[in-house]
Structure 1
Amino acid sequence: MKFSIAREALLAPIAQVVNVVERRQTLPVLANFLIEATDEGLRITGTDMEVELVARARAEVAQNGSITVPARKLVDICKALPESVQMNVQLNDDKLAIHAGRSRFTLATLPATEFPSSDKAESLASYSLSQGKLRWLVEKTSFAMAHQDVRHYLNGLLLEFRDNGVRAVATDGHRLALAEMTAEVSGNMRSLIVPRKGVMELNRILDDIDEPLNVVLGQGFLRVDRDNIVMTTKLIDGRFPDYEAVIPMATDQALIIGRGEFTHALQRAAILSNEKYRGVRLDLNDNSVRVVAHNPQQEEAVEELEAEHSFQNLKVGFNVNYLLDALSSIDGEKVRIALRDANSSCLVTAIDSDDVRQVVMPLKL
């Protein structure tokens, strides 16, 4: 194997792929990139056996071949080299020699045959989506995914491909985030649960642009192909809960409040909230809202805000972090927070749209 490539042309793809390479590996080859040199250029692959990233790069290939090399060492070498330097790379026996200007590096390798091959199973459905729209769905919902919950199906993001669009849902059992968009979805209508790491990598590789994206669903995997990078992730085998039963029924009882003003008030009150439960109390009365926080040291924070509502003497507690996450996902100057009583969940939406819906369970204080 022998090729020549500009430093920047190699650094860009390997810096993306290295994100899935874990620092601690049970299999030594999983700490490596698989580099394949062909007449079309380079193909660089990294995997942790759950998520696989494949990046393509243009290079002058003098001799085809494939090998695996230590991922982070190669990234560090590229970062340390001067800008615009040309890298000449050649495989000599079981060593990879890199010449760049006056610098010389020799890296240990492992055979390409030891690198795990990705699942080439037949696809079940294929969809074409906008990069920006899919990223929007992920950003509006992924923060509500569970962390290492024994209910493994909560440790991921539900994606539903419907007749008239795509819906994303995440919940950790204490809150729920839902976002949906209209789109012309071609292919069979299906739902799937993408694991946390797959969601994080998906968000990382997507750009906020209206460029087409090829999404392929296979038996137990999801593949996303954009430009010069392909991500394949295993799916969570489980049944997502009936989330629609959790979303509060429509009600005219609601709090209308400035999103920015409410956010800042919650952030200030959170300073003196209980560090473990992060609870704040909302006191609603006479078109006003008091945000109250206490902690075990008997310290107190109180914020007074104007708002539109018809509640009288309603006091309800919430986890302040959950409220802040919900508010950050809503666009617009004002938000609508639908409430029934102190024991029911609240529904946070924009004033004129329910494309994004955030449900937060109450907290007993």
Structure 2
Amino acid sequence: MKILVDRSVLLPALSVVGGVVERRQTSPILGNLLLTAEDGLVRMKGTDLEIEISSAAVAEIEETGAVTLPARKLIDICRSLPEDARIQIKTQNERATLTSGRSRFMLSTLPAADFPAMEVPPAQIALQMEREILHRLLEKTSFAMAQQDVRYYLNGVLLELSAERAVAVATDGHRLAKVVAALDGDGEGLGAEPKQVIVPAKTVLELKRLLGSAQEQVRIELSARTLKVELGKTLVVSKLVEGQYPDYNRVIPADLQQHATIDRDRLKGALQRTAILSNEKYKGVRVTFEVGRLGLQTQNPEKEEAEDEIEIEYEGEPISVGFNVAYVLDVLSAVDVSTVEIRFRNAESSAVWQGLGSEDEVFVIMPMRL
């Protein structure tokens, strides 16, 4: 293989696929990227056996071929070169030589034939979706995903797709985030009965990273075991989490009599101040609802305390509820509007948090004992 390629097109593509490569691998080849040169493109692919990302860059192909190169070293070399650098990559025997100007690097390779490929069954569902919609669904729910929970089906985001709408849900058992978006109904294989899949946490994070800077529409294909997302020249293929996701509608409380509205930024600032002296392990804050006033109180094992209060629209009986301050701050960061609505029943029940008027976004936080 012998190619000439501009750093300005190679590095962005390498950064896209390199994010999936783990620093510690079970097999040496998983630390490499597969590069294939043909048809005026150098195609790149990285995988950890659970998720596979591929992209491409325009290049001058002097000799076609395929090789795997160490991902981190290749990316670091390209980053270190000048922005207008032109790079030659040439392979011979078991070595690859990367040359740019007076800089020369020799890298070890592994056979392209040994690079693992994910099996992708035929798609059962296929649809086009605006990039902003998918990014919003994942961005506003992923913070509530479980992290390495033994209930493996919670370690990801539930995507529920029907002809008319897409729903994303995440929960770790202590909080829940649900976001709904309308679809145009043009998908293949979608009906009135929703199709549920659980997207693994790492795939969710990679998709958020890629969707954040992209402009193209997204094509989504779902099979029984895999998710495929096509975004311009970038293709993401991921295994799905097997298992039955809990009935999230049962977690969202209804008939909540107590109701309060509050300025999001003022609440966020007060929580950040009081959190300074909260218990570092449990991060609890006592929130007291009173007519026209919201009181916040934290304390820690060193007997240190912090108190703050802000104005609030509330007309009910005084109620004190304990919340994890980090959970509340996560919700406030996910809300776009300036006013937050809080609904709850009593000090022992879960509270529903929403941006005022944002009926398609629901956040639930369970209380904690303080």
Report if TM-score (shorter chain) is over 0.5: yes
Amino acid at match of 1:62: E
Report the TM-score, using the length of structure 2 for normalisation: 0.96
Describe the SS at the equivalent of 1:123: coil
**Aligned twin of 1:21:** 21
Report the TM-score, using the length of structure 1 for normalisation: 0.97
Amino acid at match of 1:284: F
Describe the SS at the equivalent of 2:331: helix
The farther-off stretch of 86-95 and 236-245 is 86-95
1:352 equivalent to 2:357? Answer yes
**How many equivalent pairs are there?**
365
- CA distance in 2: counterparts of 1:116 and 1:315, whole angstroms: 55
Question: Contact 1:214–1:226 at 8 Å: present in 2 too?
Answer: yes
**1:65-87 deviation per Cα after TM superposition (whole angstroms, max 9, x unaligned):** 11111111111111111221211
Question: Contact 2:40–2:60 at 8 Å: present in 1 too?
Answer: no
Superposed CA RMSD in Å reads 1.3
- CA distance in 1: counterparts of 2:4 and 2:216, whole angstroms: 30
5+ residue gaps, structure 1, are none
- CA distance in 2: counterparts of 1:211 and 1:39, whole angstroms: 23
Describe the SS at the equivalent of 1:262: helix
**Aligned twin of 1:147:** 147
Distance 1:273 1:63, change over 3 A: same
1:216 equivalent to 2:221? Answer yes
1:235 equivalent to 2:240? Answer yes
Question: Contact 1:215–1:224 at 8 Å: present in 2 too?
Answer: yes
1:200 equivalent to 2:202? Answer no
Give the superposition deviation at 1:40: 3.8
- CA distance in 2: counterparts of 1:318 and 1:91, whole angstroms: 58
**1:14-45 deviation per Cα after TM superposition (whole angstroms, max 9, x unaligned):** 11211111111121111111000011411100
Give the superposition deviation at 1:355: 1.2
**Aligned twin of 2:290:** 285
Describe the SS at the equivalent of 1:343: coil
> After superposition, where does 1:149-188 map in structure 2 within 5 Å?
149-185=149-185, 186-187=187-188, 188=190
Give the superposition deviation at 1:251: 3.1
Give the superposition deviation at 1:329: 1.1
**Aligned twin of 2:69:** 69
**Aligned twin of 1:244:** 249
**Aligned twin of 2:59:** 59
Describe the SS at the equivalent of 2:320: strand
Question: Contact 1:289–1:306 at 8 Å: present in 2 too?
Answer: yes
1:273 equivalent to 2:278? Answer yes
Give the superposition deviation at 1:232: 0.9
Describe the SS at the equivalent of 1:158: strand
Give the superposition deviation at 1:208: 6.0
Describe the SS at the equivalent of 1:148: coil
**1:303-339 deviation per Cα after TM superposition (whole angstroms, max 9, x unaligned):** 1111111222211111111111111111211111001
The farther-off stretch of 207-216 and 163-172 is 207-216
Distance 1:80 1:211, change over 3 A: closer
Distance 1:110 1:94, change over 3 A: same
- CA distance in 2: counterparts of 1:325 and 1:265, whole angstroms: 14
**Aligned twin of 1:340:** 345
Question: Contact 2:120–2:226 at 8 Å: present in 1 too?
Answer: no
Amino acid at match of 1:60: E
**Aligned twin of 1:105:** 105
- CA distance in 1: counterparts of 2:108 and 2:215, whole angstroms: 42
Q: Which of 262, 270, 275 is equivalent to 2:267?
A: 262
Amino acid at match of 2:110: L
Runs of 4 or more consecutive aligned structure 1 residues displaced over 6 Å after TM superposition: none
Q: Which of 321, 325, 328 is equivalent to 1:320?
A: 325
Question: Contact 1:132–1:209 at 8 Å: present in 2 too?
Answer: no
**1:153-185 deviation per Cα after TM superposition (whole angstroms, max 9, x unaligned):** 000000011232111000000000011111214
- CA distance in 2: counterparts of 1:264 and 1:207, whole angstroms: 26
Q: Which of 301, 304, 308 is equivalent to 1:303?
A: 308
- CA distance in 2: counterparts of 1:210 and 1:345, whole angstroms: 38
1:38 equivalent to 2:38? Answer yes
- CA distance in 1: counterparts of 2:358 and 2:105, whole angstroms: 57
